[in-house]
Copies of this chain bind each other. A is one copy, B any other.
Amino acid sequence: MSNKPTLHTSLSPALLHLYDLSSSIVVIIDVFRATSTIAAALHNGAKCVIPVDSVPKAIEISKSIGGIAAGERDGMIAEGLQHGNSPIEYNREFIEGKTLILTTTNGTRLLQMAMDNNADTIISGSFPNLSAVCDFLKSENKNVVLGCAGWKDRFNLEDTLFAGAVINRVKKQFTIHCDSSLMAEAMYDKNKKDLVGFAPNLTHYHRLVERFGLIEDIKYCLTPDVANVLPVYNDGKLVVK
């Protein structure tokens, strides 16, 4: 047997409990758009991102400590909030030096589940910070679980494509006996040359683009390394490592 650490991919939050998180780095993946937004905000100088599971909690925290309360439900800016889950909203002029308190449909919930399952380390991953994630995983020599946020527990392809991109870059350093990971890398390999061209096939694309016109968000979320920081979760906050 090889002594390399293991790597598994969890295709939905409803499958996360099948993996041993207590000795693993868990990568939270919500490509459209929570983890892309987290990377963008931190890359553009946000002090930290506080992920929360409800709109009232986001508002309460922003009132008590200051900061921007933001989030979406079903793809739209959540009722009661002025800011949503669009990464391009969080440019340097707007977010530098501020705290972002973020609530989303899938990504922040998955992060909470990773916490509840005693993950050793939690980071967030997306194409905008692909290299930072891969460099970290290669340097740590620990087991890894790539956790796809999906859409309300359903499988989605964009999170899987990101998992595949990570696997493609780090696989030599891991033992991978996991059909989900094999599939993720194959789907990435097949579509890597034109992720934006592939995007109209995705169910979530229709939700975001046809209903809300968010094509610029889609392009940003599929562009590697435009916000290449490593968000690490600690003590209720995501901060740049």
Contact = CB atoms under 8 A, between A and B. Distances in A.
Interface of A: 11-12, 14-15, 18, 152-157, 160, 177-180, 182-183, 186-187, 190, 201-204, 206
Contacts of A152: 18
Q: Which of A155, A156, A178, A180 has the most CB of B within 10 A?
A: A155
Given A15-B153, A157-B182, A183-B183, 19 more contacts: A11-B11, A11-B12, A11-B155, A12-B14, A12-B15, A14-B14, A15-B154, A18-B153, A18-B154, A154-B179, A155-B180, A156-B179, A157-B179, A177-B206, A179-B202, A179-B203, A182-B202, A183-B187, A186-B187
Contact of A183 (B18, B155, B177): B155
B177 A155 contact: no
Contacts of A11: 11-12, 155
Contacts of A156: 179
Contact of A203 (B18, B155, B177, B204): B177
Contacts of A182: 157, 201-202
Contacts of A18: 14, 152-154
- The 3 A-B residue pairs with the shortest CB-CB distance, nearest first, are A157-B179, A155-B180, A156-B179
Contacts of A186: 187, 190
Nearest to A152: B18
Nearest to A182: B201
Contact of A160 (B12, B154, B183, B202): B183
Contacts of A15: 12, 14-15, 153-155
A42 B215 CA distance: 52
A166 B191 CA distance: 22
A222 B15 CA distance: 27
A14 B179 CA distance: 16
Given A12-B15, A14-B15, A179 B206 contact: no
29 contacts: A11-B11, A11-B12, A11-B155, A12-B12, A12-B14, A12-B15, A15-B15, A15-B153, A18-B152, A18-B153, A18-B154, A154-B179, A155-B179, A155-B183, A157-B179, A157-B183, A160-B179, A160-B183, A177-B206, A179-B202, A179-B203, A179-B204, A182-B201, A182-B202, A183-B183, A183-B187, A186-B187, A186-B190, A187-B187
